[in-house]
A and B are shown apart, each in its own frame.
Chain A
Amino acid sequence: MDILVCIKRVPDISGQITLDDSGTDIDDSGLGHTTSAHEECAVELAIQTAAATGGKVTVLTLGPAEAVEQLRAAVAVGAHDGILIEAEDPSVFAPEDIAQIIGDVIRDLAEQGQGFDLVLLGNDAADTGDFQVGIRLAYDLGYPVLTGVQALNATGGAGGGSGSSGGSTGASEAGALEARGIGPAGTEIFSLDLPAVIAVQEGGVDPRYPSITGRMKAKRARIAEYVAPEPGTGNPRLGLELPPETASAVTVLGEGPDAAGSLVDVLEEIGVIRS
Chain B
Amino acid sequence: MTLVFVETDETGQVALTSAEAVTFARTNAAALARMAGSPSEQPSGASATSGGVAQRPEGSSEEGLGVDVAVIGALTDAAGEQLASLGVGRIHHFESADLEAYSAPAWAQALVEIAPETGTVLASGTPRGMELMAHVAVRTGERIAANVVAADDEGLLRQVLGGAAFERLNLDGDLQVLTIAGHACTPEETTPTSPEVLTHSPEVAAEDLRTRVVRTEVEAADDTSGLTQARAVVGAGRGVGSQDGFDEVLELVDHLGGALGVSRVVTGLGWRPHAEQVGQTGSRITPDVYIACGISGAIQHMAGIEGAKTLIAINTDEESTMVQRADYAIIGDLHEVVGAVNEEIRNRRG
Contact = CB atoms under 8 A, between A and B. Distances in A.
B155 A238 contact: yes
B162 A186 contact: no
Nearest to B157: A241
A229 interface: no
Contact of B232 (A146, A147, A193, A272): A272
B286 interface: no
Given A183-B216, A206-B268, A259-B332, A192 B211 contact: yes
Contacts of A241: 157, 165-168
A272 B231 contact: yes
B214 interface: yes
Contacts of B348: 264
B104 interface: yes
Contacts of B341: 260, 263-264
Interface string A56-97: 000000000000000000000000000000000000001110
Size class of the B contact interface (CB-based, 8 Å):
35 or more
Interface stretch (B19-27, B189-197, B217-225): B217-225
Interface of B (DSSP majority class): mixed
B345 interface: yes
B336 A257 contact: yes
A44 to B, nearest CB: 12
Given A187-B222, A236-B171, A136 B256 contact: no
B111 to A, nearest CB: 14
Contacts of A189: 213-217
Interface in A10-32: 11, 13-14, 17, 19, 26
Size class of the A contact interface (CB-based, 8 Å):
35 or more
Contact of B274 (A17, A203, A260, A261): A203
A274 to B, nearest CB: 4
Interface of A (DSSP majority class): mixed
Interface stretch (A46-54, A108-116, A212-220, A248-256): A248-256
A118 interface: no
Contacts, number: 248
Given A184-B7, A186-B217, A260-B341, A255 B330 contact: yes
A14 B138 contact: no
A145 interface: yes
Interface in A141-183: 144-148, 178, 182-183
A188 B215 CA distance: 6
B127 A148 contact: yes
Interface string A239-275: 1111100001111111111111111101100111111
Given A147-B131, A254-B330, A256-B336, 18 more contacts: A14-B299, A26-B161, A26-B165, A130-B144, A144-B210, A147-B104, A182-B222, A186-B222, A187-B219, A202-B274, A203-B274, A206-B268, A233-B143, A239-B167, A250-B323, A252-B330, A259-B330, A266-B310
Interface of B: 7, 9-10, 15, 102, 104, 126-128, 130-131, 134-135, 137-138, 143-147, 155, 157, 159-162, 164-172, 179, 210-219, 222-224, 231-232, 254-258, 264, 267-268, 270, 274-275, 277, 280-282, 288-289, 298-300, 310, 312-313, 318, 323-333, 336-337, 339-341, 343-345, 348-349
Q: Which 3 A-B pairs have the closest CB atoms?
A: A203-B274, A257-B340, A260-B340
